[in-house]
Structures are given as structure tokens and as C-alpha cells.
């Protein structure tokens, strides 16, 4: 069927789809021959269009309404992009994974040295068979941090006895948040955690992260308040 619909409209629909679903291509190619079969003069009623592009029922009502409120005002691409990012961020926050709290932790700061890694290896040897021990080792440019279950303080102080320790902090708790796998593509995700905690007046002692986990370290006496603040982001 010959398409008389302006190419600009087709590109607009496809661009909007890519913004929400993370498709990276800048052409019509991701939809293969489907876009050739769409009766663009019968959009949105065309069945092939409905099979190819996201429809209202595929989004939560609140997300659909958010985008609709922008589109009705003849927005430019930047405004559409901003709303699409806001929707993606909202979806990620609502789909945060488990939130785990670990208390009775101690944090050590050591100056970097050529022998520091050997002390780290000794620690790994004693904790490798015990999944209940909390342990992180973070190496910076000039210093490294060791965060571990307080019950193993004596071991740490023995293994690192020849290193220069600049600070020790006890009575700490870690709150670990599981992140959806698409978190690395969402702008402003970590800012939401920092902003919420700042609003509550909670100081962060340290932050540790992996690709799909985010851990904040706080003092024991504010851990309940911090947990409630983080959990509130899912609501």
C-alpha cells in the first residue's frame, strides 16, 4: 500500500519509540519491512502499526498521561527527550530490587602501597567460604578503603598491621539496593538517592557500587531513617 503520510510523522513516531525503549538506531531499520506494510493514513487504527509500535496499554496510565501532556503542546525533540527520560527514571525507581541492610560494620582507610594488595588477599582467603561476611575493598588514587563485618576487626588489624591506617570508623550500617539491569542508561538515577537522603538530613559516610547494586554506608543511629527514605523511592 502506498504511503501518503509525511515522512516527518513516521520519523516522529519511531523516534518517540526509540526514546522509551532504548533502541539505538537512527533510521527506520529496526522495524524491518513492517513499516512498509503500515497504512500510515489509517494510524493509529492500522493493525500493523499496533503490532509494530508501543500502544497505550503497554505503559502505565501515569506514564502515558505524562507523555500525552507534553505531546499535546507541540513539543520540540528536547522536550520529548526530557519527558522520556523522566518516564524511564520513574519506571526504574518503581522496579528497584531488594533493599538489604547490614549492620555492625567497620571501615578502615589505608594509604596506598605496593604491599596493600597482599593484605587484601589474606582477607579474601578467610572470608571466601562465608557468604554472611560483609566485605568491600575500594582502591582510590592515593588511598584504599576496607569495609568489613566488625567481628573480623582483629583479623583486619593483623593483616594490615604494616600499612598506614589514616582512619577507622565503627558502628556503621550498609544499605544495598538492587538495580534493574537498564540502570546504566538512566540519567539522574543516583541523584534521586542522594537528593532523598539529603532532604532527610542523612549524611553518607561512604558509597560503594557495582553494575547492578548500589550501597550506601551510614552511621547505625540513622540507618532506619535512611532505609525508609530509600524505600520511599519505590512508591
**SS3 state of residue 86:** helix
- 54 and 109 in a single domain? The answer is no
Structurally, how many domains does the chain consist of? 2
pLDDT for 38-91, tens place per residue? 676 776 677 766 666 656 666 667 767 777 777 777 777 777 777 777 777 777
- 56 and 125 in a single domain? The answer is no
pLDDT for 161-205, tens place per residue? 999 999 999 999 999 999 888 888 888 888 889 999 999 999 999
- 103 and 89 in a single domain? The answer is no
Q: 109-143: string of b/e by CB count within 10 Å (b at 16+)?
A: bbeeeeebeebbeebeeebeeeeeebbbbeeeeee
- 57 and 171 in a single domain? The answer is no
Q: Are 45 and 76 in contact (CB under 8 A)?
A: no
- 55 and 165 in a single domain? The answer is no
Average pLDDT of 212-229? 95
Task: Check the CA dihedral 191-194-195-196 and report its sign.
Answer: positive
Its pTM stands at 0.66
- 90 and 48 in a single domain? The answer is yes
- 125 and 202 in a single domain? The answer is yes
Query: Residue 172's domain spans which residues?
Result: 99-232
Asked whether residue 2 is assigned to any structural domain, the reply reads no
Of 32, 60, 94, the one marking the end of a domain is 94
Label residue 21 by pLDDT band (50, 70, 90): very low
- Predicted confidence at residue 233, as pLDDT, reads 83
- 30 and 80 in a single domain? The answer is yes
Q: Residue 200: which of 170, 171, 175, 168 has the closest Cα?
A: 175
Q: Residue 159: which of 135, 140, 129 has the closest Cα?
A: 135
CA-based angle 173:227:224, to the nearest 5? Answer: 70
Of 71, 94, 117, the one marking the end of a domain is 94
Asked whether residue 156 is assigned to any structural domain, the reply reads yes
Amino acid at each position: 500500500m502506498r504511503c501518503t503520510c509525511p515522512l516527518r510523522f513516521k520519523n516522529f513516531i519511531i523516534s518517540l519509540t526509540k526514546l522509551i525503549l532504548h533502541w539505538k538506531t537512527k533510521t527506520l531499520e529496526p522495524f524491518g519491512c513492517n513499516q512498509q506494510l503500515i497504512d500510515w493514513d489509517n494510524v493509529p487504527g492500522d493493525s500493523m502499526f499496533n503490532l509494530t509500535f508501543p500502544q497505550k496499554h503497554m505503559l502505565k496510565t501515569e506514564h502515558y498521561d505524562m507523555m500525552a501532556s507534553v505531546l499535546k503542546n507541540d513539543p520540540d525533540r528536547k522536550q520529548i527527550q526530557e519527558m522520556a527520560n523522566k518516564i524511564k527514571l520513574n519506571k526504574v525507581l518503581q522496579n528497584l530490587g531488594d533493599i538489604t541492610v547490614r549492620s555492625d560494620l567497620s571501615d578502615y582507610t589505608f594509604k596506598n602501597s605496593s604491599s596493600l594488595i597482599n593484605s587484601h588477599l589474606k582477607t579474601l582467603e578467610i572470608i571466601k567460604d562465608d557468604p554472611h561476611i560483609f566485605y568491600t575493598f575500594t582502591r582510590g588514587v592515593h588511598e584504599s578503603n576496607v569495609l568489613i563485618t566488625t567481628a573480623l576487626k582483629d583479623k583486619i588489624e593483623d593483616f594490615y598491621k604494616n600499612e598506614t591506617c589514616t582512619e577507622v570508623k565503627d558502628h556503621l550500617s550498609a544499605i544495598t539496593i538492587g538495580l534493574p539491569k537498564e540502570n546504566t542508561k538512566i540519567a539522574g538515577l543516583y541523584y534521586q538517592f542522594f537528593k532523598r537522603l539529603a532532604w532527610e538530613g542523612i549524611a553518607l559516610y561512604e558509597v560503594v557500587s557495582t553494575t547492578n547494586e548500589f550501597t550506601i554506608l551510614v552511621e547505625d543511629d540513622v540507618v532506619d531513617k535512611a532505609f525508609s527514605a530509600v524505600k520511599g523511592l519505590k512508591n
